[in-house]
Amino acid sequence: MNDLAINTSTSATASSELVGLVVKGMFRGPVSPELQLVIDAGDAVAKGPMVMPTPAGISAAGALVRLPEGSDEEKAVNDFLHAFLPVNRRLRELCTAWQCRPDGSANDHSDAQYDARIRDQLDDIHTDVSKMLRRAGKQSADLLAYRDQLNVALERFDGGDTASLTSPLTDGYHTVWMWLHQHVLMMLGVTRAEDEALEEKLVAGSAE
């Protein structure tokens, strides 16, 4: 067991930093004292202006957030994942449509009607995921917090920062969505391969 895991009772903030780092995949910016503890424990490594989790850190973060098997919260989050994955496919397709026209050319956003149709689809997706988060949030406060973050990201998009929808460099809608997705997988101990296979199964089932 690494030093950070041993000392979580005296370093809850450092543990939270580790989980946040693994959920987001990386951090760019000044290193806080708590994040430095994560680095010193060997759970993250600083490379220039970026901090990234190590394999040990990814494993430790997973252990910190893994829900007790058979608990009410695990069931609620598992139900959320099954409802979420078909909507996740819809968001991926929407992001592709936002970046590229049906003929494969880049979307230069000169066609207001085309962009408006995509925005309407985003509204439908946001409504669906908000309902799912509200329902799952009765058992998991961690999930409910993402509803607020997605609301802020949508307001940012509607406020004119349209690039934030798909840009990985901002806390935009798709970025927050990916954090939510990653956090759910960690809570359930589900691998990416298992997640992708489940999504294919659920999407195929909904198309029948």
Q: Which residue has the higher pLDDT, 92 or 11?
A: 92
H-helix or E-strand containing 51? strand 50-53
> What local confidence, expressed as pLDDT, does residue 208 receive?
53
Ordered DSSP codes for 113-139: HHHHHHHHHHHHHHHHHHHHHHHHTTT
> What local confidence, expressed as pLDDT, does residue 168 receive?
87
Q: What is residue 188's three-state secondary structure?
A: helix
Mean pLDDT of the chain: 92
Q: What confidence tens digit (pLDDT) does each residue in 57-98 have?
A: 999 999 999 999 999 999 999 999 999 999 999 999 999 999
> What local confidence, expressed as pLDDT, does residue 10 receive?
39
| Range scoring the smallest mean pLDDT among 5-19, 68-82, 134-148 | 5-19
Is the separation of the CB atoms in 15 and 38 below 8 Å? Answer: no
Ordered DSSP codes for 152-185: HHHHHHHTT-GGGGT-TTSS-HHHHHHHHHHHHH
| Range scoring the smallest mean pLDDT among 39-48, 56-65, 127-136, 160-169 | 160-169
